[in-house]
Amino acid sequence: MPIKNLSETVRLPRLGKIHLGTKHPEKGYPMKADHFIFPEDHADYGKLVELFGKTPKKLSVFIPVEDEDTWASQYYKSYNLTFGLVCKGDGELATRMQDVKTGELPTANKAGTVALQEIPCKGTECPEYLAKKCHEVMNLRFILPEIPGLGVWQIDTGSKNSILNINSCAKIIKRAFGRISMIPLSLTFEPMQVNNPDTGKKQTVYVLNLRTDVTMAKLAEAARESLSTLQLKAPDLEEAFQLEVEKDIEVLWPDDRIAKVDTATGVVIDAKDMPPEDLLFAEEVVPPVKDESLISQVQVNALLSKLGEKEMTVKDLAKYIRETKEWGALAGVKDLTVWQYNELMEAFLRGEA
């Protein structure tokens, strides 16, 4: 008999990371490149260079599984130097590390008791995002079929254009063939003209794309052949990836956060403050702690405002809590704890209340 919760678990470890930029040799901050950069300390570096060259702009890849959140995980993420990843959201809900007393993000100077809390995610309207302390990040995972090893390679990008391109290409391929996994594709790093939001002028940035060099008919035939010879089933691999892939999540830098470099001389013109290259945070290690403190007046006002939007009264809320929660009777909104408030706001967001 199989061992429950063990025998059915499939682990697909990360074999390596491919970068889209380098660090400045003297000042240490990251700068984007116009080609893929292989890790020179990797055991298969020589094989990678032999197959693709030292400055490749195209890689032959397979997508390992169908689950998009597994092979193209994409979230809003916020980091700081002390705690690493402190907030991760999808535009609706976020898991945020915060001080249990103040509700603020922890910093080196304000290191009280911290815990992971689920809160509403405001996406691009979040103050952290508007302050450029939070941004979109995609963790792209793929197989290099010509490189030894059973596992995935990973590229991280914070470019919205790259994220849009990968998502759009994947939808087209999946619509044509009914799947995205185990189809021979090319992952490319290509120049693209975009408008600089600060100056309004056009500038060239490099973005990721999924491509194919063959006709759709030949691609369909190759897809059938690859499926019969190299098929991987697509179980839920997220926990396995978190063990092997997200141990050292790297945030690569959005197009508007890169250092500007004179292409003729290589001199840095405008160096921006950049996030650290490798930020460690065991996302699944610290269990969420229920904050039993009473909600603040700000939270009371926010909840009352939400009730008004839903055309609900406090009595309606008390009835909802009685019927769906095991919290006991609600004497008043001010008697709610922070964790109860968070659960209610999430229920409103999901349309459950």
Q: What is the pLDDT of residues 196-217, one digit of tens each?
A: 777 778 888 899 999 876 666 6
The pLDDT value given to residue 9? 56
Q: What is the pLDDT of residues 325-345, one digit of tens each?
A: 877 777 788 888 887 887 888
The number of residues making up the chain comes to 353
CA count, 13 A, side-chain hemisphere, 84: 13
Answer yes or no: is pLDDT of 5 > 60: yes
Burial of 67: CB neighbours in 10 Å, binned 0-12, 13-18, 19+:
middle
Q: How sure is the predictor about 150, in pLDDT bands with cuts at 50, 70 and 90?
A: confident
Q: Where are the domains of the chain?
A: 7-289, 297-350
The pTM of this model reads 0.61
Kind and range of the H or E element at 259?
none
Burial of 252: CB neighbours in 10 Å, binned 0-12, 13-18, 19+:
buried
Report how far residue 269's alpha carbon sits from residue 14's, in angstroms, rounded to the nearest whole number.
Answer: 36
Report how far residue 15's alpha carbon sits from residue 236's, in angstroms, rounded to the nearest whole number.
Answer: 19
Name the percent of the chain lying above pLDDT 90: 31
**Mean predicted confidence (pLDDT) in 305-310:** 82
Report how far residue 280's alpha carbon sits from residue 250's, in angstroms, rounded to the nearest whole number.
Answer: 8
Report how far residue 136's alpha carbon sits from residue 255's, in angstroms, rounded to the nearest whole number.
Answer: 11
For residue 125, give every residue at least 6 positions away whose Cβ sits within 8 Å of its Cβ, in sequence order, or none. none
Alpha helices in the chain, H assignment, sequence order: 45-52, 68-71, 127-130, 160-177, 216-229, 238-244, 297-309, 314-324, 338-350
